[in-house]
Structure 1
Amino acid sequence: MNRCNWVTNDPVYIHYHDHEWGIPVYEDQKLFEMLSLEGAQAGLNWITILKRRENYKKAFDQFNIDIVANYSEEKIQSLLQNPEIIRNEKKIRSVVKNARLVIEIQKDFGSFSNFLWNYVNNQPIINHWSKDEEVPANTALSKKISNDLRKKGFSFVGPTIIYSFMQAIGMVNDHLITCFCHPAYIHNSK
């Protein structure tokens, strides 16, 4: 089975690639989870976060936006002592702050999903890369979304983090055309 070249033989990576990466996500809680995990990944390897994902979900109340937005200082301090997650204070505090800002977006746009998917007219961008080197680290669109989120007060939403987020939630499908998850591969194999 042909997969994208970045996938190792680690079962966690294989499952993520085969069942999540590039598949559209529209549910606000899942979108918030992925934004938070992408922020946690900044400066680290993605597999480091993927392997701690269940710990993050447990620590952050399954990324329930309303619960996280109301975390007390005591809860934040307990997260800073949690050895099961990356104990970076700026990253932990950003999850709480970003949850509060997601709630503001939900009030203004009906949902976080509406806000995000509007950038691509509710249609995933399907790229046709044949080599890893062709896949960008960020794009003009990820820069725009990053700037818009920063203006709203979000943190850990730089253009590269946002592009990874867009890939993770399927706003962008960057599976290589040789990968069995790419629509062209699926279409051509029939």
Structure 2
Amino acid sequence: MARCDWAGPDQIYIDYHDTEWGVPEYDSRALWEKLVLDGFQAGLSWITILKKRENFRAAFADFDPDIIAGWGETDIRRLLADPGIIRHRGKIAATITNAQAWQRIEADQGFATFLWSYVDGVPLQTGLADRSAMPTQSALSVQISKDLKKAGFKFCGPTIVYAFMEATGLINNHVTTCPRHAACAALARLPAV
């Protein structure tokens, strides 16, 4: 069995595929971090974000939304001067806005609960043997994107949300010939009875 063909040749990409991508994530804060990073990835390659991820964590207070929600223009200027991250004013400002939106959802129902409710708490399994047949968005990613935007999120279009769903295991898009397909499927939590 061979891993998904996108995973390589860089070791950081292989490690990400083999240990993180598609693993169901149930932690609200970790889900928020991954959504923010997917927003920063828009228009860029994912490996660019992976290589800068630790810099992002340092620059963004380890992605603590409760800290970031209180940031303002001084913090935006500081981040725009940081060569270790993607210096895009709109994406940086959106991270602050998204932290505030995360706080509202987290207080209301929990961000993880909010996201996992779209799949009834169980990851969707595409079961495809070839990534060429996989879409870049779906009706579900369109709906989640609309609902996130309604809640105040930015940089969360349907394509970003679909990539996020794949990364966080809301959908298992490892090809069936990849050993991680079955491994990620086995990690899914069953819904509470």
Q: TM-score, normalised by structure 2?
A: 0.93
* Partner AA of 1:6 in structure 2: W
Aligned to 2:149: 150
* Partner AA of 1:143 in structure 2: V
User: Equivalent residues in 2 for 1:106-125 (5 A)?
Assistant: 106-109=106-109, 111-125=110-124
* Partner AA of 1:33 in structure 2: E
Distance across 1 between alignment mates of 2:184 and 2:94:
38
Deviation at 1:72, TM superposition (A): 2.8
Distance across 2 between alignment mates of 1:6 and 1:22:
13
Aligned to 1:99: 99
Q: Once the two structures are superposed, what CA deviation does each residue of 1:123-169 show, in whole Å capped at 9, x if it has no partner?
A: 00111111111111000000000011111221100000000000111
Deviation at 1:185, TM superposition (A): 10
Aligned to 1:48: 48
CA contact (8 A) 1:177 1:184 kept: no
Distance across 2 between alignment mates of 1:180 and 1:85:
33
* Partner AA of 2:40 in structure 1: A
Deviation at 1:73, TM superposition (A): 1.8
Question: Residues 99 and 186 of structure 1: is their aligned pair in 2 closer, same or farther, counting only changes over 3 Å?
Answer: closer
Aligned to 2:191: none
Question: Residues 113 and 185 of structure 1: is their aligned pair in 2 closer, same or farther, counting only changes over 3 Å?
Answer: closer
Aligned to 1:30: 30
Q: Once the two structures are superposed, what CA deviation does each residue of 1:160-184 show, in whole Å capped at 9, x if it has no partner?
A: 0000000111000100011010118
CA contact (8 A) 2:22 2:184 kept: no
* Partner AA of 1:175 in structure 2: H
Question: Residues 186 and 164 of structure 1: is their aligned pair in 2 closer, same or farther, counting only changes over 3 Å?
Answer: closer
Aligned to 2:189: none
Distance across 1 between alignment mates of 2:36 and 2:183:
31
Aligned to 1:78: 78
Mind listing any 5+ residue stretches in structure 1 that lack a counterpart?
A: none
Percent identity (aligned): 47
* Partner AA of 1:36 in structure 2: V
SS at match of 2:36: helix
Distance across 1 between alignment mates of 2:91 and 2:106:
22
Aligned to 2:128: 129
Aligned to 1:182: 181
CA contact (8 A) 1:177 1:185 kept: no
Q: Once the two structures are superposed, what CA deviation does each residue of 1:57-114 show, in whole Å capped at 9, x if it has no partner?
A: 00001101101111132111100110000100000000110000000001211x1001
User: Greater shift after overlay, 31-40 or 71-80?
Assistant: 71-80
Give the number of aligned pairs.
186
* Partner AA of 1:11 in structure 2: Q
Deviation at 1:3, TM superposition (A): 0.5
* Partner AA of 2:130 in structure 1: K
Deviation at 1:36, TM superposition (A): 0.5
* Partner AA of 2:129 in structure 1: S
Q: TM-score, normalised by structure 1?
A: 0.94
User: What root-mean-square deviation, in Å, do the aligned CA atoms of Structure 1 and Structure 2 show?
Assistant: 1.6
Distance across 1 between alignment mates of 2:48 and 2:152:
27
